[in-house]
Amino acid sequence: MAWVKLTYEQARQHHLYGIRGWSIVLAIFLVVTIVSAPSGPTAIQRQIARIAGVFVSEQKAATAEVRDTPRQEPQSIRVQSAHWTYVLIATVGSLLALVLLLAKHRLFIRTYVTVASIGLLLGLFTLAETGIASVIPYVGLILGKGMWIVYALRSKRIRVTTLHEIPSADKP
């Protein structure tokens, strides 16, 4: 689709300019991501750490010596690194995207699509490694990220508000 550039004043006068409708829901989604990311390792983060080789394999665990009192393994540096890398990307990236959306900045679309794509790829990677059964609770999240990426790329409201562009068919 071809887009026509508007001046800032033309964009502000356009009926689609502003953060309303679905863009408010997207902003709420970003806030939820910011708040929930540091809450602890998700299945996706644990799977990334397992794939990186930081958990004892099931076979070794099955043949391990049985003790009277269960002993927890200390969390390794690699597990913590995998967790905090995800938290950093999710929290800082979503916060940056939210600030750019609220500021109606032209870098919002690129920033949001990059951050959401990283989350989507991590989810798909986990799905490929573990199979659908262990990730069923996260399928909605994966589909949701994909849906919001498409929305950010195709939304006329987002384009008018952040890039000051309208489809050439809507040219005034």
Do 126 and 48 form a contact (C-beta atoms < 8 A)? yes
pTM value is: 0.71
Residue 12, Cβ density class (10 Å: 0-12 exposed, 13-18 middle, ≥19 buried): middle
DSSP result, 27-46: HHHHHHHHHHGGGS--HHHH
What would the pLDDT profile of 52-81 be if each residue is shown by its tens digit?
554 444 434 444 444 444 444 444 565 556
Query: For the chain, what are the domain ranges?
Result: 3-54+77-170
Average pLDDT over residues 131-157: 79
Q: Which helix (H) or strand (E) segment is 4 a member of?
A: strand 3-5
Average pLDDT over residues 88-98: 89
Do 149 and 120 form a contact (C-beta atoms < 8 A)? yes
Torsion of CA 144, 146, 148, 152, to 10 degrees: 180
Average pLDDT over residues 84-112: 90
* In the block, residue with structure tokens 């967790």: 83
> How many other C-beta atoms can be found within 10 angstroms of the C-beta atom of residue 142?
19
